[in-house]
Amino acid sequence: MLRVGPALLALTTLAALTGCAAATPATASGITKQATVDVYAAASLTDVFTQLGTEFEAGHPGVKVTLTFAGSSELAAQINELAPADVFASANEAQMEVAREHILGGPQVFTQNALAIAIANGNPLGIRSLADLARKDVVTVLCAEQVPCGSAAAALFAAARVRVSPASEEANVTDVLGKVASGEADAGLVYVTDLARAHGVEGIAIPNTEAAANRYPIAVMDTGDAPDAAASFVAFVESAQGQAVLTAAGFQGAS
């Protein structure tokens, strides 16, 4: 004789569980309970997005934010390999273009990052402006022109009508900062946000640097599994609260 009872119990439990997963009710704010937003963000956004993530989680109980930081080109490449990103925040529009096939919502420019001069603590060489970087006794390093911080630097030098011969053209801004911090180079052009968190260097502002700032776009990607939560996160970043965090770190406004 068939043991119907236990079988029936098993079946109904199974149905209930799958039913739960499939028919999770949406709440009023549009996000599901217990969702995880996987954010892929450019390395220069490490500190700010960590803070934004914490604040977002505080305001949206049950939602978790995981953060992956790397160079924008690497992130774009990974997304194209279907890495499970819900949100992509790139340091320049070119890399967002690289991942355009997977954009679900956006992109929107949410902030900008401008360059400043990084010099050794105490400014022993008395550097005051971009023109000083062309001096023979100053060893300057820059980003290579083909990367975003390099093209921004080139634009600034052109606007100031200064011709500089860098000793090295690095592939990313971290390497530039590193060489100034170690004393191998006397000066370099890095992001304002890098100066805020760097040790061993001082910064000198560049007049009208916002004109050559890099525009940072953000978008919801189809490679993730929580698009609603993702959209909510993007909205948070663009909100007044989110923008305040960005500005405090040295980023320029989104316009």
Partner 1 sequence: MTSHLPRWMAALAVAGATLVLLPIAGVLTRVDWSDFGAQVTSPQALTALGLSLRTALVATVACLVIGVPLGYVLAVMRSRWKAVLRALVLAPLVLPPVVGGLALLYAFGRRGLLGGTFEALGISIAFSTAAVVMAQTFVALPFMVLTTESAIAARGTRQESIARMYGASRTRTFAWVTLPALLPALAAGTVLAFARAIGEFGATLTFAGSLEGVTRTAPLEIYLQREIDPGAAVALSLVLLIVAVAVVAVAYRPLTRKSAT
Nearer to partner 1, 103 or 171 (CB): 171
Size, binding site for partner 1 by CB under 8 A: 21
Q: Of 104, 134, 154, 171, which lies in the binding site for partner 1, with binding defined by CB under 8 A?
A: 171
- Longest CA–CA span in the chain (Å) reads 97
List, as one string, the DSSP characters of 33-64: TTEEEEEEEEGGGHHHHHHHHHHHHHHSTTEE
Alpha-carbon dihedral 251, 253, 254, 255, rounded to 10 degrees: -140
- Is 77 near partner 1 (CB under 8 A)? yes
What is the closest distance, in whole angstroms, from the C-beta atom of residue 181 to partner 1 in the complex? 11
- Is 60 near partner 1 (CB under 8 A)? no
Q: Of 87, 106, 113, 179, which lies in the binding site for partner 1, with binding defined by CB under 8 A?
A: 179
Stretch that binds partner 1, among 60-68, 130-138, 181-189, 245-253 (CB under 8 A): 181-189
What is the closest distance, in whole angstroms, from the C-beta atom of residue 145 to partner 1 in the complex? 10
Classify 74 as helix, strand or coil: helix
**Facing residues of 252 across strands?**
112
List, as one string, the DSSP characters of 131-188: GGGGSTT--EEEE-TTSHHHHHHHHHHHHHT-----SEEESSHHHHHHHHHHTS-SEE
Q: Is 249 left (phi over 0), alpha (psi -120 to 50) or beta?
A: alpha
Stretch that binds partner 1, among 10-18, 27-35, 52-60, 161-169 (CB under 8 A): 161-169
Residue entry with tokens 């993702």? 230
Stretch that binds partner 1, among 15-23, 58-66, 129-137, 174-182 (CB under 8 A): 174-182
What's the CA gap between 32 and 183, in Å, rounded?
51
Classify 68 as helix, strand or coil: strand
Nearer to partner 1, 31 or 120 (CB): 120
Q: Of 168, 174, 243, 247, which lies in the binding site for partner 1, with binding defined by CB under 8 A?
A: 168
Q: Of 24, 182, 239, 241, which lies in the binding site for partner 1, with binding defined by CB under 8 A?
A: 182
Q: Which uninterrupted H or E stretch holds 215?
A: strand 214-221
Site track 78-117 with partner 1 (rule: CB under 8 A), x = hit: ----------------------------------------
Write out the residues near partner 1 by the rule CB under 8 A.
Answer: 71, 73-74, 77, 139, 141, 144, 146-147, 166-172, 175, 179, 182-184
